[in-house]
């Protein structure tokens, strides 16, 4: 039993030294820990050993642990280092994560061009995660892809490629999420017309599919939410400032005057409601995208809280 606990303490000390957070202590100090932490430390050590031996998938898993703060302190710089390691050892998932780090500046400088370079091989492998990441790249850094004639050619080619891959995948959920991002990119693009024609057919099919699904699943509801999105634009010590948008479908046979309510709830049941005051007329059987801005208390902007858009007739 004494030998067993000595091994556990040695394992825990090794993990502290690896994380750079270990501190010297006198033998008279008491060391306490949760047994589950020891198990997870062993998992991290096991994955790290495999990664250092050239296992790209293990390097990817270690990177995710640091990026998410899963069982280890969150550290974006270490996450990026491990993703780069996994990429060099041939792991596609790690290479996509390197691209995502360059999109959002996780552990490295934001560099959309470098992100695109890292997506070429995964896209050639028809990875769904790479397709979604490429759409996010266009939506997050539109200015880079419309800044010059060559940049617009690149974005046109990329949209063509993504459209073809989405048609081949035939995945409604992936197509819906990507269509929203591509539409957002097109709204910001100065070269909108030449690219819109490229995937108008995909967008039209997706819209028709959404209308059919909503009419079947929510028959009788005069107004339905086809899609919604919310993102943080800035924050202060006490508040988060955000923008949101939603596409509302009128399933009736008449034009409707509509307003919308945004309801945000936390895990304890506390909720706030904001009414979108601008009245919007939605033609019969048609849909419209509405958008607005607002601010929330910091405690409401947390994972696990819910955001609901409720449209109703004026």
pLDDT at residue 37, rounded to an integer: 42
pLDDT at residue 81, rounded to an integer: 94
pLDDT at residue 205, rounded to an integer: 56
Whether residue 222 is predicted with pLDDT greater than 90 in this model: the reply is no
- Main-chain phi, psi angles of 171, to 5 degrees: -115, 105
Sign of CA dihedral 159, 162, 166, 168: positive
Is 224 or 177 the better-scoring residue by pLDDT? Answer: 177
The model's confidence at residue 89, banded by pLDDT at 50, 70 and 90, is: very high
Is 223 or 48 the better-scoring residue by pLDDT? Answer: 48
Q: Are 248 and 256 contacting, i.e. CB atoms less than 8 angstroms apart? A: no
List alpha helices for 141-191, DSSP H: 142-145, 149-169, 172-188
- Main-chain phi, psi angles of 47, to 5 degrees: -65, -40
Picking from 167, 150, 153, 206, the residue whose alpha carbon sits closest to that of residue 183 is 206
Dist CA 98 CA 234 (whole Å): 25
**pLDDT tens track for 124-171:** 999 999 999 999 999 999 888 887 788 888 888 898 899 999 999 888
pTM score of the predicted model: 0.50
In this predicted structure, which of 54-58, 72-76, 166-170, 197-201 has the lowest mean pLDDT? 197-201
Is 305 or 143 the better-scoring residue by pLDDT? Answer: 143
Dist CA 140 CA 23 (whole Å): 41
Hey, which residues does 312 pair with through a beta bridge? 259
């Amino acid at each position: 039993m004494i030998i067993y606990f000595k091994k556990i303490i040695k394992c825990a000390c090794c993990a502290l030294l690896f994380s750079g957070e270990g501190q010297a202590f006198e033998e008279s100090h008491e060391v306490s820990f949760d047994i589950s932490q020891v198990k997870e430390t062993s998992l991290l050590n096991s994955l790290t050993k495999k990664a250092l031996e050239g296992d790209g998938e293990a390097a990817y898993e270690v990177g995710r642990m640091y990026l998410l703060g899963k069982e280890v302190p969150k550290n974006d710089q270490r996450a990026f280092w491990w993703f780069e390691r996994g990429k060099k050892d041939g792991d596609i998932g790690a290479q996509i994560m390197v691209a995502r780090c360059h999109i959002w500046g996780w552990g490295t400088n934001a560099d959309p061009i470098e992100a695109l370079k890292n997506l070429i091989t995964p896209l050639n492998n028809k990875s769904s995660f790479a397709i979604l990441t490429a759409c996010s790249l266009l939506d997050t850094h539109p200015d880079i892809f419309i800044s010059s004639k060559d940049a617009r050619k690149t974005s046109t080619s990329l949209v063509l490629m993504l459209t073809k891959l989405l048609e081949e995948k035939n995945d409604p959920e992936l197509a819906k999420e990507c269509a929203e991002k591509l539409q957002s990119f097109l709204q910001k693009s100065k070269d909108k017309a030449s690219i819109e024609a490229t995937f108008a057919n995909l967008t039209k099919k997706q819209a028709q599919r959404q209308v059919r699904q909503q009419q079947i699943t929510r028959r009788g509801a005069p107004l339905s939410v086809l899609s919604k999105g919310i993102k943080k634009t800035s924050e202060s010590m006490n508040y988060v400032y955000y923008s949101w948008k939603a596409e509302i479908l009128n399933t009736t046979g008449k034009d409707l005057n509509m307003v919308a309510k945004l309801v945000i709830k936390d895990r304890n049941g506390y909720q706030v409601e904001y009414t979108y005051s601008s009245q919007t007329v939605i033609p019969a059987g048609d849909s419209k995208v509405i958008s607005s801005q607002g601010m929330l208390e910091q405690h409401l902007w947390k994972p696990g809280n819910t955001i609901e858009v409720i449209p109703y007739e004026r």
